[in-house]
Amino acid sequence: MNPQLALLACAVGVAGLFYLDRGDSKGVTRALWIPALWIAIAGSKPVSYWLGVGPANPSQQQITAGSPADAAVFSLLILAALRVVWRRREQVKPILKLAWPVLLYFAYCGMSTLWSLYTEASVKRWLKSWGDLLAVLIIATEPDVSAALRRLFSRVGFLLLPLSVVLIRYMPGIGRGYDVWGAGQNVGVSGTKNTMGVITFVILLGVVWHLMAILRDKAWPHRGRHLVAQFALLGAGIWVLLLCDSDTSMAALALGTFFLLLTALPVLRKPAAVHLLACAVLLGGAAVYWLGGEADVTHAMGRGTSLSGRTEIWKGVLETAAAHPILGVGFESFWTGGNIYRVWRHLPTGMSVNESHDGYIEVYAEIGWVGVALIALLLMTAYRRAVAAFRRDPALGALLVGYAVSVVIYNITEAGFRMIDPAWIFLLFAFVASAQIITTQAQSAESAPAVAPTSAPAEMMAGERWRGAI
Give residue 397's Cα distance to chain centre. 15
**Which sign, positive or negative, has the C-alpha torsion 137, 382, 197, 223?**
negative
- Cβ-contact 6, 162 below 8 angstroms: no
Whether residue 451 is contained in a domain is answered as no
Which residue range forms the structural domain that includes residue 234?
3-442
Give residue 277's Cα distance to chain centre. 21
Measured between alpha carbons, how far is 91 from 138 in angstroms, rounded to an integer?
10
Whether residue 48 is contained in a domain is answered as yes
Q: What is the pLDDT of residue 413?
A: 83
Whether residue 465 is contained in a domain is answered as no
What is the pLDDT tens value at each position of the chain, 470 positions in all?
A: 788 899 999 999 999 999 999 876 778 999 999 999 999 999 999 988 888 877 666 655 555 556 788 899 999 999 999 999 999 999 999 999 999 999 999 999 999 999 998 899 899 999 999 999 999 999 999 999 999 999 999 999 999 999 999 999 999 989 988 776 666 889 999 988 889 999 999 999 999 999 999 999 899 988 999 999 999 999 999 999 999 988 889 888 988 898 888 888 877 777 777 788 777 766 655 554 444 444 444 444 444 444 556 788 888 889 989 999 999 999 999 988 788 888 888 777 666 778 888 899 999 999 999 999 999 999 999 999 999 999 889 889 999 999 999 898 889 888 889 889 999 999 999 999 999 999 987 776 666 565 444 444 444 334 433 333 33
- Cβ-contact 225, 280 below 8 angstroms: no
Residues whose CB falls within 8 Å of the CB of residue 467, separated by 6 or more in sequence, listed in order: none
- Cβ-contact 147, 26 below 8 angstroms: yes
Residue type, 304: G
Residues whose CB falls within 8 Å of the CB of residue 104, separated by 6 or more in sequence, listed in order: 374, 377
Whether residue 102 is contained in a domain is answered as yes
CA torsion 329→335→337→343, rounded to 10°? 100
Q: What is the pLDDT of residue 63?
A: 56
Q: What is the pLDDT of residue 225?
A: 93
Residues whose CB falls within 8 Å of the CB of residue 53, separated by 6 or more in sequence, listed in order: 67, 69
- First vs last C-alpha separation in the chain: 88
**β-strands 184-186, 176-178 pairing:** antiparallel
Whether residue 154 is contained in a domain is answered as yes
Q: What is the pLDDT of residue 273?
A: 77
pTM of the entire predicted model: 0.88
**Which sign, positive or negative, has the C-alpha torsion 343, 346, 351, 357?**
negative
* CA dist 409 → 12, 238, 247, 253 (Å): 37, 20, 12, 10
Whether residue 467 is contained in a domain is answered as no
Whether residue 338 is contained in a domain is answered as yes
Q: What is the pLDDT of residue 470?
A: 35
Whether residue 452 is contained in a domain is answered as no
Measured between alpha carbons, how far is 415 from 174 in angstroms, rounded to an integer?
24
Instruction: Provide the number of structural domains found in the chain.
Output: 1
